[in-house]
Amino acid sequence: MTLENIKTQADNSLMPTYAHFPISIESGNGATFIDSESNEVIDFGSGIGVNSLGYNNEGWINAVTEQLKKVQHTSNLYYNSTVAEYAEMITAKSGFSRVLFCNSGAEANECAIKLARKYSFDKYGENRYNIITLVNSFHGRTMATITATGQDHYHKFFDPFVGGFMYAESGNIEQFTEMADDTVCAVILEIVQGEGGVVPTDFEYLKAVEKICKEKDILLIIDEVQTGMGRTGKLFAYEHAGISPDVITSAKGIGNGLPMGACLCAEKCAEVLTAGTHGTTFGGNPVACAGAKYILNNLTDEFLNEITAKGEYIREKLADIDEVKSVTGLGLMLGIELKTKNAGEIAKKCCENGLLILTAKTKLRMLPPLVITKEEIDKGIEILSKYLCE
Ligand SMILES: *Cc1c(COP(=O)(O)O)cnc(C)c1O
């Protein structure tokens, strides 16, 4: 099928929630794919930080297909050895006590929100339900998570929104101190705001927030949906800041493309969400868990160091491009601020000429597969540099 045919089918049938780039991804290998017109394209986006092991990863495909041949789904009413093994592995590796599996980042955050509210209800009773999030954050598209998202343009059309969210300015510890009164049960933040424009949260601020949270028994929840699972060169990005959150959420790169999310909590919250208080039909699917187990096994210290080194290599290459004003982010999560050009227009030109690159607000954004090779980086930057320099 040609791109024109695919476009017509999709545009006449899908709800128009996305302004699609004019490209159809049909098959791939590593960080390179072939589109419907048989062009070879370098992928600096991996979905949106999802295909962490790239396309057609043999080990992951074997892990997934072996599980598929055994059993594809069991309800959470029953045990399954693959799910049990992965649950034990992810809690052991992350140092958290318990995990709840779900199917997306928004669901993982929903779980964290419910957990925080019940933790507080169990311990302190009613009216301690407020949750502080940051201005310019992004936490998902469900009713509670768009409310949690600290960007006004998400707070339209869908009234009434969920109550009990307050928005703090990132980096302003005085304001946070004032806001964190005895109605607050939790704070949710990203270590690097992804959709908000690859904006890092100040580490000193994070430490100060952690201190107040500890003093007041406010749960510190880190949304690691975009930053987690090796993306920044650590298993989870909060490790860079030297803080220890009570709850973290993960999704995007956790499943290499199979839908999966996770909410992990520390020992003090281990038994908050009891039987009947939360659940999911699909969450903790054995096939997704088999793939996720393969990914986690691959996130060795050596591989994490390679991710850091690749990030530095990309930064060095970007530093040679005059149009690049600044580069933000950690590891292989990079935001590129431009001097004069429009990021959206650059992304579109690149897409039509062999390179997929994302945007976030006014920046270009890179979330390449963690397995991207030096050759693929060089090829991609060459295309990018051509459109930045013309
Ligand atoms: C993408 C993202 C989400 C939402 O994840 P979905 O899987 O789309 O529901 C939540 N938080 C952050 C930080 C994200 O980047």
User: pLDDT tens, 112-142?
Assistant: 999 999 999 999 999 999 999 999 999 999 9
Rounded to two decimals, the pTM is: 0.98
Residue type, 274: T
> How would residue 12 be classed by pLDDT, with cut points 50, 70 and 90?
very high
CB neighbour list of residue 5: distance below 8 Å, 6 or more residues apart: none
Q: Compute the C-alpha angle 176/180/185, nearest 5°.
A: 130
Average pLDDT, the chain: 98
**In a 3-state reduction of DSSP, which class is residue 159?**
coil
Closest atom of ligand 1 relative to the 252 alpha carbon: 7
Q: Are the C-beta atoms of residues 335 and 365 closer than 8 Å to each other?
A: yes
The answer to whether the beta carbons of residues 327 and 318 sit under 8 Å apart is yes
When pLDDT is averaged across residues 170-193 and rounded to a whole number, the result is: 98
How remote is the CA of residue 281 from the centroid of ligand 1, in Å?
Answer: 20
pLDDT per residue as tens digits for the range 333-371: 999 999 999 999 999 999 999 999 999 999 999 999 999
Q: Which atom of ligand 1 is least distant from the CA of 137?
A: 13
Rounded to the nearest angstrom, the distance between the alpha carbon of 312 and the centre of ligand 1 is 25
Cis peptide before 369 (omega within 30 of 0): no
User: With contact defined as beta carbons under 8 Å apart, do 43 and 28 qualify?
Assistant: yes
The rounded distance, in Å, linking the Cα atoms of 170 and 301 is 31
- Percent of the chain predicted with pLDDT > 90: 99
Rounded to whole angstroms, the Cα distance separating 366 from 351 reads 13
Residues near ligand 1 (Cβ within 6 A): 104-106, 109, 138-140, 190, 194-195, 223, 225-226, 251-252
What separation in Å is there between the alpha carbon of 15 and the centre of ligand 1?
20
Distance from Cα 223 to the centre of ligand 1, integer Å:
8
